């Protein structure tokens, strides 16, 4: 241990740099605009009550409010009533900075909707990838047919093509079909995972033929074998693939940026965050960091819970 102190020193310094933006993101998501500006308040900020200027501006008492409230403040002139009302509004509009930032994150933009979109898109991509890749992988691994080598050669060739790189022709094709600004546009280019086919095929090669023959003896069709024999044996590989696929598509920004233009209903979490940045003025740092925290948290928490599986899954991703 004492011999290793310099290793710890180097690694801790590295860890500080790696963690700094996370620290800042979470810390700013708790602080009031003033504290962010002046760079004070430690990690959580002082959490003093703050007044939301936009909320006050929206509820500025007008003539009618003053008339209506006159009974509640007997013996006051108009200015006095107005001042009293303003004080009430400010009281109603004041809250802890942390609460302010997170409620703003969820109310200023439909963040729940964005998160739902993220879930819908990543889950549909993963399920379709499995439905398409698994039978193909089984055929390539376990069935003999004329042209198998050619098909596998094609798979190997397609591994060379990064989907992000051919975004432009894909975008044109989807635009021609009138599919831009639909869920389909977000999902379709990712329905085929050549890497998934390759990974599953390698895995199926290790499954003993006897298992399949036994299933055939029981009168199972090849189709049934794929889903009722091969799928359960492939669960570990599928899990690794699921992690890779979900992490990649939850975090993806490039493709949604291209095919979703303007239609907020289809925004995925990164697009939603980007938009927040677009219209936020200086005082919106807190809510923006709260949004960023909300988007980053699900995967990080899942990762911290099941580290080993995550690392396996991502590492397998090799040919992204």
Partner 1 sequence: MAVIETGAGAHATHPEHRQARTAWGLAAPALALMVLILLVPVVVAGVLSFSNYSLGNPGFDWVGAQNYERLFTRSTYEKMFIATLTYVVTVVPISVGLGLGAAMLVHSLGRIGDIYKTIYFLPVMATLLAMAIAWEFMLHPTIGMVNRTLALACGSWLEAIPFFASGCADGFPLWLGDRDYAIWVVCFIGIWQGFGFNMVLYLAGLTSVHRELYHAAEMDGAKSAWERFRLVTWPALGPTTVFVVTISCIRAFQVFDTIEAFWPQGGGPNKSAYVMMFAIFEKGVQQNLIGIGSAITMLFLVFVMFLTLIQRWLVERKVHYG
Burial 174-185 (b: 16+ CB within 10 A, else e): beeeebbbbeeb
Task: Among 269, 284, 287, 290, indicate the residue that binds partner 1 (CB under 8 A).
Answer: 269
- Residue closer to partner 1 (CB basis): 69 or 231: 231
Task: Among 64, 160, 279, 281, indicate the residue that binds partner 1 (CB under 8 A).
Answer: 160
Q: In the window 193-232, what residues touch partner 1 (CB under 8 A)?
A: 194, 197, 209, 213, 216-217, 219, 222-223, 226
> Is there binding between residue 295 and partner 1 (CB under 8 A)?
yes
Nearest distance in Å: CB 198, partner 1: 11
Nearest distance in Å: CB 297, partner 1: 9
Parallel, antiparallel or unpaired: strands 94-95 and 50-51: antiparallel
Q: How far apart are CA 11 and CA 29, in angstroms?
A: 27
The answer to whether 47 touches 98, Cβ cutoff 8 Å, is yes
Task: Among 57, 87, 91, 300, indicate the residue that binds partner 1 (CB under 8 A).
Answer: 300
| Paired tokens of 4 | 């290793």
Q: How far apart are CA 175 and CA 169, in angstroms?
A: 10
Task: Among 54, 70, 72, 164, indicate the residue that binds partner 1 (CB under 8 A).
Answer: 164
- Residue closer to partner 1 (CB basis): 56 or 159: 159
> Is there binding between residue 277 and partner 1 (CB under 8 A)?
yes
Backbone angles phi, psi at 234, to 5 degrees: -90, 5
Q: How far apart are CA 114 and CA 273, in angstroms?
A: 9
- Residue closer to partner 1 (CB basis): 63 or 308: 308
Q: In the window 20-79, what residues touch partner 1 (CB under 8 A)?
A: 20-22, 24-25, 28, 36-37, 39
- Residue closer to partner 1 (CB basis): 3 or 63: 3
Q: In the window 245-264, what residues touch partner 1 (CB under 8 A)?
A: 247, 250-251, 253-254, 257-258
| Angle of helix 111-142 versus helix 148-158 axis, rounded to 10 | 150
CA atoms within 13 A on the CB side of 98: 11
The answer to whether 245 touches 122, Cβ cutoff 8 Å, is yes
51 forms beta bridges with 94
Contact segment (CB under 8 A) with partner 1 among 70-78, 87-95, 96-104, 243-251 equals 243-251
Nearest distance in Å: CB 189, partner 1: 6
Single out the residue of 312, 268, 284 nearest to residue 97, CA to CA: 284
The answer to whether 77 touches 39, Cβ cutoff 8 Å, is no
Q: In the window 86-125, what residues touch partner 1 (CB under 8 A)?
A: none
Q: How many residues bind partner 1 (CB under 8 A)?
A: 98
| Paired tokens of 158 | 């397609």
> Is there binding between residue 169 and partner 1 (CB under 8 A)?
yes
């Amino acid at each position: 241990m004492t011999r290793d102190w310099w290793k710890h020193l180097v690694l801790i310094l590295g860890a500080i740099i790696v963690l700094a933006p996370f620290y800042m993101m979470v810390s700013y998501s708790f602080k009031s605009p003033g504290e962010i500006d002046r760079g004070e308040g430690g990690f959580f900020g002082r959490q003093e009550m703050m007044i939301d200027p936009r909320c006050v501006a929206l509820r500025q008492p007008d003539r009618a409010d003053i008339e209506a409230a006159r009974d509640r403040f007997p013996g006051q002139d108009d200015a006095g009533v107005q001042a009293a009302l303003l004080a009430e509004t400010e009281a109603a509009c004041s809250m802890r900075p942390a609460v302010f930032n997170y409620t703003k994150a969820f109310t200023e933009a439909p963040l729940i909707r964005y998160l739902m979109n993220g879930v819908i898109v990543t889950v549909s991509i993963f399920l379709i990838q499995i439905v398409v890749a698994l039978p193909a992988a089984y055929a390539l691994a376990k069935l003999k047919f004329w042209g198998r080598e050619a098909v596998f050669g094609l798979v190997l060739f397609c591994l060379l093509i990064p989907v992000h790189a051919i975004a432009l022709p894909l975008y044109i094709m989807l635009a021609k079909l009138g599919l831009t600004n639909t869920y389909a546009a977000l999902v379709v280019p990712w329905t085929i995972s050549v890497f998934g086919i390759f990974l599953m095929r390698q895995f199926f090669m290790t499954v003993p033929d006897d298992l399949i023959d036994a299933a055939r003896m029981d009168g199972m069709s090849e189709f049934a074998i794929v889903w009722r024999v091969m799928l359960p044996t492939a669960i570990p590989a599928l899990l690794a693939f699921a992690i890779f696929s979900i992490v990649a598509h939850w975090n993806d920004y490039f493709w949604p940026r291209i095919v979703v233009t303007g239609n907020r209903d289809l925004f995925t979490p990164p697009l939603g965050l980007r938009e927040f940045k677009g219209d936020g003025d200086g005082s919106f740092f807190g809510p923006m960091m709260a949004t960023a925290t909300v988007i980053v948290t699900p995967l990080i928490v899942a990762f911290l819970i099941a580290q080993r599986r995550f690392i396996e899954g991502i590492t397998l991703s090799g040919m992204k």
